[in-house]
Amino acid sequence: MVSTEYERRIAARFATFDQDGNGWIDREDFSAAAKAVLVEFATTPRSDRGQALYSGAEAFWQGMAGIADRDGDQRITRDEFVNGAVKRLRDNPDRFAEIARPFLHAALAVADADGDGSATVEDTVRVLRALGVPEEAAGAAAARLDTDADGKVGEREIVTAFARYFTVPE
């Protein structure tokens, strides 16, 4: 049996993926996420960083669809998400990290103003907010992402934390 708290957390993850809130997750949600990050950082989709973010979003979508879209209709319903994605990702968090890595890598590059391979905690908050994470949660999440407390968020930190957040323990 699943607990109410567990179901609440699953619903929150689903809502994060379902960017347009139409009740299912599809390719549009992933390109909307990429677009929101590019708008936040005034980066053009045609730039190298913009194109990398869109292809990362596409790879992320393909990976999620491969795991969860059981009927192959190019939509992940809430049922497919709960009974496919969540269970399989929990069994294999490394797989999820691999699926998400190109997108997170590209998002970090968009937010990485000085090109040193990591983004400031402040800019990471902007990424999370652009992805629809509420302000307060984004601030707390970004601070937690900086596990070595150097004021910056690197790829390993964001991939690990992202995988942990989405591979919801029961």
Chain residues in the site for Ca ion (CB under 5 A):
18, 20, 22, 29, 69, 71, 73, 75, 146, 148, 150, 152
Of the pair 22, 83, the CB lying nearest Ca ion is at 22
Of the pair 21, 169, the CB lying nearest Ca ion is at 21
- Tell me how far, at minimum, the Cβ of 39 lies from Ca ion, in Å: 18
Rounded distance between C-alpha atoms, residue 127 and residue 43, angstroms: 13
Of the pair 30, 96, the CB lying nearest Ca ion is at 30
Rounded distance between C-alpha atoms, residue 43 and residue 26, angstroms: 24
- Tell me how far, at minimum, the Cβ of 129 lies from Ca ion, in Å: 19
Of the pair 94, 150, the CB lying nearest Ca ion is at 150
Nearest to 34 by CA among 4, 60, 63: 60
- Tell me how far, at minimum, the Cβ of 140 lies from Ca ion, in Å: 16
- Tell me how far, at minimum, the Cβ of 47 lies from Ca ion, in Å: 26
